[in-house]
């Protein structure tokens, strides 16, 4: 694998609306982010991905962009953004933006012009088709529920939107669209950003013909993903890379859901279209058959097995995945992947170590470093997220009680990740002096940055040690490029693996017991050094047989 500047780094995702508010309007902003750069630096972060901060009507929280070259007013100005770039640079940190180009906002001038003249130049920027017998061209469903086609008022024409109707899909077959995107991408690189996280990107490839299918749900619709063609997307992505990313030695990470297919080679192998892609394999195993309301509970063994499978697959493909336990589209990892008895500091630390020391780029999501948990909300009105509202409706329609539907939202809602950052125990968790745009998680009183900074044994300080260990001169090569090898597969509750240095100079074992009883595991050689433990009095040096207490996690040489 060719070595890249970003391989040895650690990344962190900021959901800007909820990170830090500097002016009391209840919305996080760029000056707020700047004020926390030292905090992130101290944590060991190098790369910061900021979810969209462009002009937007915020129907899908900024993933509906109305001007790709403007900063949304609520976040600040372009001067603030330039200052952020400069301040990050001073600290040897890199800013990664969100590239949302499968669709734009219905408020974007391209779309306004398309509506005004659907057969004109800008009509060709979108997928606009004639209706059939007074209906939409096909019966595809949008990912947020309801039809994927919206009628253009006063016509028999419809436009395609795989997401909300305010997010019309851009037509990548049109070379003018592609040129617009490449110009814009290069414009941001000229400003000094280091790369992009690339949103919903496989959707840019579409099949030649869209066909109506027999309904797959009571709404009479059919999965919208059917119109997507991954092969077509790869062709566009290769061009995007050549015309933009390559010129800047950029870091790019794709939001692609299937990491275990042979396609991974084309996506992130030696000549892949992205630098990296997220490993969503654990997230995918939590999908319910019909929605959040029938989502299965994660079992330790299945969870470990899917993660190990992607670790092995990506290494075989010569790629470098971006490893996450949560993001702004997911509930908090500690509530999702830890069993109920494990949702405490020990479990949180074990989850941290096993994830951060995987092969690939560790990507933290804001608040993960303090073990932020899901937030209890008492009514659907307390949620903001468009997909939470849709999933709640689905649950109620399927016969769930209000209580059950709210429980499904507690367990799965995207707003769990979008809830304001918990900085301290003062009102609103120190996030804002005003009224937060989305209600705080009352748990900020006991889960917050300020308290954890003072407590040597906190989850936050453990994350710092863990990241420092990963990046330490002695071991950074092993953790970055070392071979991944599963261990102890016969123990259902143990997640254990080796990282073997490329030159065989050292082997590091990461072993965690996620069960509620102790487990004794056997190694094939004695432990020479203990690098990290999440418990006191761990004594493993010189041993071959190791008894791991419930939720104990060790990192040893």
Question: Which residues are part of the catalytic machinery?
Answer: 199, 255
Q: Return the number of the residue (63 or 188) whose C-beta is nearest ligand GLC.
A: 63
Q: Return the number of the residue (328 or 394) whose C-beta is nearest ligand GLC.
A: 328
Q: What are phi and psi of 50, to 5 degrees?
A: -105, 120
From Ca ion, ligand GLC, none, which one binds at residue 332 (CB under 5 to 8 Å depending on kind)? none
CA distance 452 to 457: 8
Least CB distance to ligand GLC at residue 553 (A) = 30
CA distance 295 to 287: 5
From ligand GLC, Ca ion, none, which one binds at residue 27 (CB under 5 to 8 Å depending on kind)? Ca ion
CA distance 498 to 11: 23
Least CB distance to ligand GLC at residue 105 (A) = 10
From Ca ion, ligand GLC, none, which one binds at residue 21 (CB under 5 to 8 Å depending on kind)? Ca ion
DSSP lists the bridge partners of residue 71 as 54
Four-CA torsion 59, 273, 177, 17, nearest 10 degrees: 20
Least CB distance to ligand GLC at residue 98 (A) = 8
Q: Which long-range contacts (CB under 8 A, 24 or more apart) does 436-439 make?
A: 436/18, 436/21, 436/26, 437/17, 437/18, 437/26, 437/27, 437/384, 438/17, 438/18, 438/384, 439/375, 439/377, 439/382
Cα Rg of the chain (Å, integer): 24
Name the strand (E) or helix (H) holding 243: none
| Residue where the block lists tokens 């015309």 | 243
Q: Return the number of the residue (252 or 440) whose C-beta is nearest Ca ion.
A: 440
Q: Return the number of the residue (23 or 129) whose C-beta is nearest Ca ion.
A: 23
Least CB distance to ligand GLC at residue 490 (A) = 37
Q: Return the number of the residue (353 or 438) whose C-beta is nearest Ca ion.
A: 438
From Ca ion, ligand GLC, none, which one binds at residue 279 (CB under 5 to 8 Å depending on kind)? none
Q: Return the number of the residue (110 or 163) whose C-beta is nearest ligand GLC.
A: 163
Least CB distance to Ca ion at residue 56 (A) = 15
In the complex, residue closest to ligand GLC by CB: 63
In the complex, residue closest to Ca ion by CB: 29
Four-CA torsion 482, 488, 492, 495, nearest 10 degrees: -30
CA distance 244 to 193: 12
- Closest to 488 measured CA to CA, from 521, 459, 457, 525: 521
Q: How far apart are the first and last CA of the chain?
A: 25
Task: Let me know how long the chain is.
Answer: 557
* Alpha-carbon distances, residue 351 vs 38, 87, 157, 313 (angstroms): 25, 32, 50, 21
Residues contributing to the site for Ca ion (CB under 5 A): 21, 23, 25, 27, 29
Least CB distance to ligand GLC at residue 197 (A) = 9
From Ca ion, ligand GLC, none, which one binds at residue 100 (CB under 5 to 8 Å depending on kind)? ligand GLC
Specify the DSSP class assigned to residue 170.
B
From Ca ion, ligand GLC, none, which one binds at residue 63 (CB under 5 to 8 Å depending on kind)? ligand GLC
Q: Return the number of the residue (77 or 225) whose C-beta is nearest ligand GLC.
A: 225
Least CB distance to ligand GLC at residue 480 (A) = 26
Q: Return the number of the residue (21 or 46) whose C-beta is nearest Ca ion.
A: 21
From Ca ion, ligand GLC, none, which one binds at residue 29 (CB under 5 to 8 Å depending on kind)? Ca ion
Sign (positive or negative) of CA dihedral 257, 8, 83, 182: negative
Least CB distance to ligand GLC at residue 163 (A) = 5
Q: Return the number of the residue (56 or 448) whose C-beta is nearest ligand GLC.
A: 56
* Cβ count within 10 A of residue 504: 9
From ligand GLC, Ca ion, none, which one binds at residue 23 (CB under 5 to 8 Å depending on kind)? Ca ion
Q: Are 136 and 158 in contact (CB under 8 A)?
A: yes
Q: Are 330 and 283 in contact (CB under 8 A)?
A: yes
- Closest to 25 measured CA to CA, from 439, 432, 441: 432
Residues contributing to the site for ligand GLC (CB under 6 A): 60, 63, 100, 163, 199-200, 255, 328-329
From Ca ion, ligand GLC, none, which one binds at residue 60 (CB under 5 to 8 Å depending on kind)? ligand GLC
Least CB distance to ligand GLC at residue 255 (A) = 6
Q: Are 314 and 269 in contact (CB under 8 A)?
A: no
The angle formed by the CA atoms of residues 75, 80 and 86, to the nearest 5 degrees, is 135
């Amino acid at each position: 694998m060719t070595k890249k500047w970003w391989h040895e780094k650690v990344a962190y995702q900021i959901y800007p609306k909820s990170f830090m508010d500097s002016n009391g309007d209840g919305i996080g902003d760029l000056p707020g982010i700047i004020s926390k750069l030292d905090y992130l630096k101290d944590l060991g972060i190098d790369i910061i991905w900021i979810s969209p901060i462009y002009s937007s009507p915020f129907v899908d929280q900024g993933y509906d962009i109305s001007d790709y070259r403007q900063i949304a007013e609520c976040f600040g100005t372009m001067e603030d953004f330039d200052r952020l770039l400069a301040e990050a640079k001073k600290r040897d940190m890199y800013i990664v933006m969100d590239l949302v180009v499968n669709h734009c906002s219905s408020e974007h001038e391209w779309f306004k012009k398309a509506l005004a003249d659907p057969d004109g130049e800008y009509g060709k920027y979108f997928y606009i088709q004639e209706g059939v017998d007074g209906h939409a061209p096909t019966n595809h469903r949008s990912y947020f529920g309801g039809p994927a086609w919206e009628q253009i008022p006063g016509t028999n024409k419809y436009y395609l939107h795989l997401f909300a109707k305010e997010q019309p899909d851009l037509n990548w077959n049109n070379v003018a669209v592609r040129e617009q995107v490449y110009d814009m991408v290069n414009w941001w690189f000229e400003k000094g950003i280091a790369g992009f996280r690339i949103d919903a990107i496989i959707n840019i490839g579409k099949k030649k013909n869209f066909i109506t299918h027999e309904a797959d749900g009571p709404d009479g619709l059919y999965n919208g993903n059917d119109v997507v063609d991954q092969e077509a997307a790869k062709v566009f992505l290769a061009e995007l890379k050549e015309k933009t990313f390559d010129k800047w030695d950029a870091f790019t990470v794709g939001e692609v859901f299937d990491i275990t297919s042979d396609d991974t080679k084309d996506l992130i192998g030696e000549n892949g279209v992205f630098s990296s892609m997220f490993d969503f394999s654990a997230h995918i195993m939590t999908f319910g058959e019909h929605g959040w309301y029938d989502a299965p509970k994660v079992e330790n063994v299945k969870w470990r097995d899917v993660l190990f499978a992607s670790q092995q697959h990506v290494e075989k493909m010569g790629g470098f995945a971006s490893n996450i336990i949560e993001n702004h589209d997911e509930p908090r990892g500690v509530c999702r992947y830890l069993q109920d008895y494990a949702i405490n500091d020990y479990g949180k630390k074990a989850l941290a170590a096993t994830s951060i020391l995987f092969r690939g780029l560790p990507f933290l999501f804001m608040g993960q470093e303090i073990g932020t948990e899901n937030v209890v909300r008492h009514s659907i009105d307390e949620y903001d997220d468009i997909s939470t509202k849709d999933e709640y409706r689905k649950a109620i329609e399927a016969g769930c009680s209000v209580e059950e539907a709210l429980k499904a939202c507690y367990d799965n809602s995207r707003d769990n990740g979008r809830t304001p950052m918990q900085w301290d125990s003062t009102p609103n968790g120190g996030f804002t002096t005003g009224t937060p745009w989305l209600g705080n998680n009352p748990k900020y009183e006991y889960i917050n940055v300020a308290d954890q900074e003072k407590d040597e044994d906190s989850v936050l300080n453990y994350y710092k040690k863990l990241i420092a260990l990963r990046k330490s001169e002695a071991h950074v090569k092993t953790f970055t490029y070392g071979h991944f090898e599963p261990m102890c597969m016969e123990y259902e509750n143990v997640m254990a693996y080796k990282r073997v240095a490329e030159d065989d100079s050292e082997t590091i074992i990461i072993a965690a017991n996620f069960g509620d009883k102790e487990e004794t595991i056997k190694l094939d050689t004695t432990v020479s050094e203990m690098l990290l433990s999440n418990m006191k009095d761990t004594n493993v040096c010189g041993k071959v047989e190791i008894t791991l207490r419930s939720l104990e996690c060790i990192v040893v040489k």
